[in-house]
Amino acid sequence: VKRDTPLGPGREFDAIRALRAQWGAIAEGLGDDAAVVDVPDDERLVVSTDTSCENVHFRRAWIEPEEIGWRATMAALSDLAAMAARPIGMFVAISVPTGWRRDLQAIGAGIGAAARDAACTIRGGDLTGGSELSLTITVLGGAREPLNRSGAQPGDALWLTGALGGPALALRAWLDGSVPPAAARERFAKPHARLRQAAHLRAAGASAAIDISDGLAADALHLAHASHATLAIELGSIPLCPGARPRDAATSGEEYELLVTGPASINALAFRTAFGLPLTRIGSVERGPPGVRMLLDGAHVDVGGGYDHFLR
């Protein structure tokens, strides 16, 4: 275990000291100018960064400070899941307006809880003032063979983890000034990066994957282009969060589930037993121009564009 380097005096360092104390063993080697990270010889380094911004990705009235930290961290980790990478470490950069200072420990608690949940150590970061709360989480992962978007083959089945539509329901309620159903709110506020599920699917022969943070329709299109294939999706087959409609499943963003291509023989029942999460075959990969064909009960549907980061 790498030792932390003692920090000097000052308010910024007091705040970092408090975060470090709260994070405990999930933070490692903080306090030097840069982190030194070991990567096993037989693995490649997989890196991604993700920003979560007040009034762009969430509003203060909607979710608790701890949830803001949790979801920003899980959103970043979800990109490691999409690559079937094992988390190695993360860097946390936070800009904190004066009005948020007393919430910093709670935000840090959410980051720490998500890091612990994913067994991903916090290796460093940056703390600064700012006009709006913003969290940028950079994640490092290791993978012998990262899974990417370009490996889908005609004849592959299209698999989806989880149930969709919850975040869309929650957002619709908040923007209408009402209270979202608890399950939908939970899907928005406490997402889980599908890291273990991705490793399982990789081992089961997955050929490509993407996380659907921008919504199924938009991210399926990215995968279709990357793989030079047509994806045919039956919307009616997608498990829904209670109250959501099949169209919500196509357009709901902030989902953090995985769209995976691979053999039709993947055992969905074993997956559900292992993870308590549905794995559903929602369509197939076909030879054809890059694109997505959405069907609902056999008829073509046009779901429009993807999910836009919405708040201004």
Could you list the residues that contact Mg ion (CB under 5 A)?
79, 211
- Name the residue nearer to Mg ion (CB basis): 79 or 254: 79
Tokens found for residue 116: 């612990």
| Token reading at 80 | 């490691």
Contact 165, 248 (CB under 8 A): yes
* Cβ 10 vs Cβ 104: under 8 Å: no
Q: At what angle do helices 195-203 and 65-82 cross, to 10 degrees?
A: 10
The alpha carbon dihedral of 301, 305, 309, 311 has a sign of: negative
Query: In terms of CB distance, is 83 or 244 closer to Mg ion?
Result: 83
Proportion of the chain in helix, strand, coil states, percent, rounded to 5: 35, 25, 40
CB 165 within 8 A of CB 245: yes
Of residues 20 and 192, the one with the C-beta less far from Mg ion: 192
Q: How far is the CB of 194 from Mg ion (least distance, A)?
A: 12
The residue (of 79 and 248) whose beta carbon lies closer to Mg ion is 79
Closest CB 90 distance from Mg ion, rounded Å: 16
Q: Which is nearer to Mg ion, 35 or 83 (CB)?
A: 83
Query: For residue 25, which amino acid is it?
Result: A
Distance CA 37, CA 45 (A): 10
Q: List phi, psi (to 5°) of 233.
A: -120, 130
Q: Least CB distance from residue 50 to Mg ion, whole Å?
A: 8
| Rounded least distance, CB 83 to Mg ion, Å | 9
Nearer of residues 20 and 194 to Mg ion, judged by Cβ: 194
Q: How far is the CB of 201 from Mg ion (least distance, A)?
A: 16
CB of residue 100 to Mg ion, shortest distance in Å: 27
Tokens 């990109």 sit at which residue? 79
133 Cα distance to chain centroid:
19
